[in-house]
Amino acid sequence: MEKELLYPVMNQYRFDQKLDGLWDFQFDEAAQGDAQGWPENGLSAAIQMPVPASFNDFFTDKASREYTGDFWYAKRVFVLSTLKGRTIALRFGAATHRAVVYVNGQEIRRHEGGFLPFTADITAEVKFDQENLVVVKLNNELHRDALPAGDTTVLKNGKKMAKPFFDFYNYSGLNRSVHLLALPQDRVTDYTVTTSLVGQTAHVAYRVTTSQATAQVTVTLQDVDGTVVATGHGRQGDLVVDQPHLWNVRAAYLYTLHIQLTTADQVVDEYHDQIGLRTVKIEGHQILVNGKPVYLKGFGRHEDSIYAGRAFDLNVEKRDFELMKWMGANSFRTSHYPYDEEVYRFADREGFLIIDEVPAVGFKMAAASFLGGLDQSFFDGDWTTALYQKHLDQITDMIHRDKNHPSVLAWSLLNEPDTSSKSAVPYFEKLFHDTKDLDPDQRPRTFTLNEDDTFETSYCKQFPDFYLLNRYPGWYHKWGYEISDGEAGLRAELDQWQASDIDKPVVFSEFGADTEPGLHKLPSVMWSEEYQIELLQMFDRVFDSYDFIRGEQPWNLADFQTVEGNMRVNGNKKGLFTRDRQPKAAAFYLRQRWHQIHNDFKN
């Protein structure tokens, strides 16, 4: 059960109920909850907290907003006896960063990692036709041997404080929906589809895993009209579709895959999902979707909005997709962690490509430099052994969860790790080796290279299938009037990539300027709306000069919250849109450019 991450569906065999709403909530500064019997009795002095939400921004006092340590949620959940005989489970979409789940006083499951779902089988504990006490202990401390990486310090007044080695606020809580599931004991536990194209025919290789070995498996594929276009029998096989409607970039087409389990001619389980038929491949400098080259236009993003912090919010997501479509975008990166599953479902429907990133961020001591970090190589640290296992676990779960989405183009295994020290190499060798066969679709694997990790300095250039470059000339160096030198430096680096025998695409996955909306200056100064446009224009000139650059994803779609600091004015302001999703002047500039660039620009 623990490994089952299928997106929940409701039908006559499967029950799915969202437990969203107000939960009991309590901080546990002294870590006394267990000793005081909170798992058995509930929280001793609870307040109410919305789920899904990050707790932080609801509070009006700073100690609560910044709270770091253990904190608890509890809810009484009535379970109907009509669900008896099935496997009863709780499914948490995301719990930051580690969780212990208790039901009716019994510990059921522990989980680490704040950005991926997990299930807890509560069948043995659940009481039917009664309220069940669901209690979850969370902990949001940051550590060097955990993802995302950081430190937790204790202030002189005794308060713990999170010190992220990354530039987004450590929003914490039950950030995604919680589900109560009741599933047949004889059930589909996972499925995989991969498509290959031969002429005018698509071959969809499928594999279904089940909880028990005896059931018969039947798989059908239906088009949008509900017509069955292919049928398969058995746990694995090939669905052959002649003249398929392919899933294309910004022109999606989704088929519905139905999986049916029968034993002794009785249907015991059904599962359905929408899938797209497409191939992705890197060939030379090209990123190919269905064999056609694509140029990525899009954004680095964050799950971030006012009030609920990092909570998944369908309304914000809908708005973000409308903004991205308005811009003429066709892609985004889930910087710096896997997003809620609904995001991938939106992208599947809208034909967006996703670079799916694991929360391996902050693997660079100097990344904490603007926070006062140390100047040593991250991979020299003795914490990397413990970290490695968590890193691999989370990549495994991300690929497991997201492997069937046509929108997922590539896996980003790290953001801006320190690769300019040789000590990174063994870690990378092992990581790229151990993750090679996790994805049945063999999508390309990559990571973003920070400004310090250049063509000359990075020891890990051999690993990615294509390059993601995060570059900030015009902002973190050679800024303002010196931007022309920034451009020259960028060109000098790109000339080295061009002259090399590396035959792989380069995508600019970050570049940008913090911009205060409403600040206008002629001539421009940094932070003004005019300067943001000039900086984008500089990058665009450069992108258009090199054929191997196959995508541009400015940082960021929208302004977002970070730790407070002398480099940040209430968060990171590099958004093309404000935090409440209204355009800055640069959005109009870039929109015009992107509408003139076809998806297959440069080919």
Q: Are 468 and 287 in contact (CB under 8 A)?
A: no
Q: Which residue is nearest to ligand BDP (CB)?
A: 167
DSSP string, 472-529: -BTTTBS-GGGHHHHHHHHHHHHHHHHHSS----EEEEE----B-TT---SS--TBSH
Least gap, CB of 450 to ligand BDP (angstroms): 6
* Of 179 and 574, CB closest to ligand BDP: 574
Q: Which residues pair with 242 in a beta bridge?
A: 201
Token pair, residue 590, equals: 């870039």
* Of 195 and 415, CB closest to ligand BDP: 415
CA quadruple 159, 164, 167, 170: dihedral, nearest 10: -60
Contacts 24+ apart (CB under 8 A), 432-436: 432/463, 434/392, 435/392, 435/395, 435/396, 435/399, 435/411
What is the spatial distance between Cα 107 and Cα 504, in angstroms, rounded to a whole number?
49
Token pair, residue 161, equals: 């404080």
Does the annotation count 510 as an active-site position? yes
* Of 166 and 339, CB closest to ligand BDP: 166
Least gap, CB of 415 to ligand BDP (angstroms): 5
For 163, phi and psi rounded to 5 degrees? -120, 85
* Of 555 and 589, CB closest to ligand BDP: 555
What is the spatial distance between Cα 158 and Cα 162, in angstroms, rounded to a whole number?
13
* Of 412 and 524, CB closest to ligand BDP: 412
Residue 272, judged by CB atoms within 10 A of its CB (0-12, 13-18, 19+), counts as: middle
Does the annotation count 416 as an active-site position? yes
Least gap, CB of 504 to ligand BDP (angstroms): 21
Token pair, residue 401, equals: 């969860």
* Of 278 and 336, CB closest to ligand BDP: 336
Q: Measured in whole angstroms, how far is the alpha carbon of residue 523 from the centre of its chain?
A: 39
* Of 139 and 470, CB closest to ligand BDP: 470
Identify the active-site residue in 4, 66, 416, 529: 416
Least gap, CB of 214 to ligand BDP (angstroms): 49
Tell me the helix, strand and coil percentages in the chain, rounded to 5: 20, 35, 45
**Termini Cα distance of the chain:** 47
Token pair, residue 141, equals: 């401390």
Identify the active-site residue in 317, 487, 510, 552: 510
Q: Which H/E stretch holds residue 62? A: helix 62-65
Q: Are 6 and 188 in contact (CB under 8 A)?
A: yes
* Of 210 and 450, CB closest to ligand BDP: 450
Least gap, CB of 533 to ligand BDP (angstroms): 17
Least gap, CB of 297 to ligand BDP (angstroms): 19
Least gap, CB of 470 to ligand BDP (angstroms): 5
Q: What angle separates helix 529-543 from helix 483-499, to the nearest 10 degrees?
A: 20
3-state secondary structure of 362: coil
* Interacting residues of 29 by C-beta distance below 8 A, sequence separation 6+: 67, 69, 70
What is the spatial distance between Cα 525 and Cα 556, in angstroms, rounded to a whole number?
20
Least gap, CB of 336 to ligand BDP (angstroms): 6
CA quadruple 337, 341, 344, 345: dihedral, nearest 10: -170
* Of 269 and 416, CB closest to ligand BDP: 416
In 305-367, the DSSP E strands lie at 331-333, 353-357
Residue numbers at the binding site for ligand BDP (CB under 6 A):
166-167, 336, 415-416, 450, 470, 510, 555, 572, 574
Least gap, CB of 512 to ligand BDP (angstroms): 7
Catalytic residues: 416, 510
